[in-house]
Structure 1
Amino acid sequence: MLEIKDLNLTLGNKLILQHINLDIPVQGEIIGIMGPNGAGKSSLLKSIIGEFKSTGTAHLNKTPVENSLKSITYIPQKAHIDLDFPIDVEHVVVSGAYKDIGWFKWVNVETKTKLNQLMKTLELENLRHRQISELSGGQLQRVLVARALMTESTLYLLDEPFVGIDFHSEEIIMSQLRQLKKEGKLLLIVHHDLSKAETYFDRVILLNKSIRYFGDSVTAMKPEHLNHTFLNAPIQNGMA
């Protein structure tokens, strides 16, 4: 269970998130986080993992998140990746296993097997020795997903994984995310394309500084909930 109680975030003098409360079971589910620009979507993920210092509490399976980081995988936006760092695709992907095997350790047979499997599944084999600075947006995102899948996690947090990538890469990545769902993992994905909500997500969090709606993706896309989120319009029945 991911439990977030009264999470509030202020950066400088600006209120970013207010009174965020969530109780989400870890039972195999893909949840979208959607809302307008500046709504606090990426900030919510960063607050959960402690990158942003918010108030309130966050627990994963009754353990404070700060003590559960080995059970959490966070995939940031591609824009936050240093493409000038001289490293090839294979070394980026295998680095995802370091929190399990340790830094500066020999890569064991099990890790090599998993590496080769992910390189094949995510169609990265022919890019194995290419520098990350030479990759397209879709190729880089597949590398980041492969890196994330090198280790077992309970909770996966993805920040705009489909921005600026080709349709084929998006299909490959989504297939892997659905496999994680089948394995009982919980995935929270920041996403901006409302047209994909019902196809990609089981449930949707509509966010605009506070949670405006949290429930099944079909209901989330109803005009009253979208207007309440994107236009700050009141819900007709008085409920968010």
Structure 2
Amino acid sequence: MLSIKNLNLTLGVKHVLHNVTLNIPIQGEIIGVFGPNGAGKSSLFKSIIGEFKYSGQINYQNKPITNHLKAITYIPQKSQIDLDFPIDVTNVIISGSYKNIGWFKKKGHETKDKLNELLKKMELEDLRHRQISQLSGGQLQRVLIARALMSESDIYLLDEPFVGVDFRSEQIIMTQLKQLKEAGKLLLIVHHDLSSAETYFDRIILINKTVKFFGDSKQAMEPEQINSVFLSANKETKGSYA
């Protein structure tokens, strides 16, 4: 169980998150996180992984989340990736295994086999030696997903994984995410395309600084729910925090 209780987050003078409370079982589920710009979606993820200091409680299996950060994999927005860093596709992907094997330990056959498997599944074999600065948006996102899949986690947090991604890449990524769901993992995905919400997600969190709705994806997309979150955005949500 991922349990968030009375989470409040202030960044500078902005009260970004207000009394966020969620209880989410780890049972094989893909949950969408929707809200207007500045609603606190990315900030919620960064609070969970400990990047932001908050008040309230975040627990995993009834213990503080800080004791279980290895159980979580976070995939940031592509815009946060330093494309000028000289690293190729293979080394980006294989770095995802370091939290399990350590930074300075020799990579064994199991790690190399998993790397080759992911290169094939994500259709990256022909790009394995290419610098990340030379990749398209969809190719880069597939690399980041492959990197995340190099390690075994219980919870996956993906921040806008489909922004700037071509249709084929989106299909490839969704196939892998559904396999994680079938393996019993919890996936939380910040998303913006309302048209694909019911297709992609089992349940949806609607957030605008606080949780406005959490439940069935079809119910979340009803006009009453959407309007309560997005039409009030100009009044309730100002600033640069997502």
- Flag whether TM exceeds 0.5 (same fold): yes
CA distance in 2, matches of 1:150, 1:130: 19
Letter in 1 for 2:63: T
Q: Report the Cα offset of residue 97 of structure 1.
A: 0.3
Cα separation, 2, equivalents of 1:63 and 1:155: 15
Matches within 5 A, 1:96-107: 96-107=96-107
1:28 aligned partner: 28
Residue 232 of structure 1 and its aligned partner are, at CA, apart by 3.1
2:76 matches 1:76: yes
> Alpha-carbon deviation of 1:64?
1.1
1:117-162 CA-partner distances (Å, limit 9, x unpaired): 0000000100000000000000000000000000100000000000
Number of aligned pairs?
Answer: 233
Is residue 205 of structure 1 aligned with residue 212 of structure 2?
no
For the residue of structure 1 that corresponds to 2:165, the secondary structure is: coil
3-state DSSP class of the match of 1:151? coil
The one-letter amino acid of 1:230's match is F
User: Which whole-Å CA distance do the structure 2 matches of 1:55 and 1:36 have between them?
Assistant: 23
Name the counterpart of 1:185: 185
Q: Which amino acid aligns with 1:59?
A: N
RMSD: 0.9
Residues 208-219 of structure 1 mapped to structure 2, 5 A cutoff: 208-219=208-219
Aligned to 1:196: 196
Q: Name the CA distance, whole Å, in 1 between partners of 2:27 and 2:58.
A: 18
Partner of 1:236: none
Provide the secondary structure at the position in 2 that maps to 1:87.
coil
Whole-angstrom distance in 1 between the partners of 2:107 and 2:63? 30
Matched position secondary structure for 1:9: strand
Shift of 1:53: 0.9
Deviation at 1:216?
Answer: 0.4
The runs of 5 or more residues in structure 2 that have no matched partner are 234-242
Question: Tell me, what secondary structure is at the counterpart of 2:26?
Answer: coil
- Correspondence 1:38-187 to 2 at 5 A: 38-187=38-187
- CA shift digits 1:32-78 (9 cap, x unpaired): 00011111111110011111111111011122111101100000000
Q: Secondary structure at the match of 1:18?
A: strand
- What is the TM-score with the length of structure 2 in the denominator? 0.95
1:6 counterpart residue number: 6
Q: How much has 1:231 moved relative to structure 2?
A: 1.5
Higher relative contact order (CA 8 A, sep 6+): 2
Identity of aligned residues (%): 69
Instruction: Indicate the SS of the match to 2:85.
Output: coil
Would you identify which runs of 4 or more consecutive aligned residues in structure 1 move more than 4 Å? none
Measured in 2, the distance between the counterparts of 1:11 and 1:78 equals 22
1: distance between equivalents of 2:30 and 2:193? 15
Q: Secondary structure at the match of 1:144?
A: helix
How far apart in 2 are the matches of 1:191 and 1:76? Answer: 12
Q: Residues of 1 paired with 2:106 and 2:119: CA distance?
A: 19
Letter in 1 for 2:17: L
Which TM-score applies when normalising by structure 1? 0.96
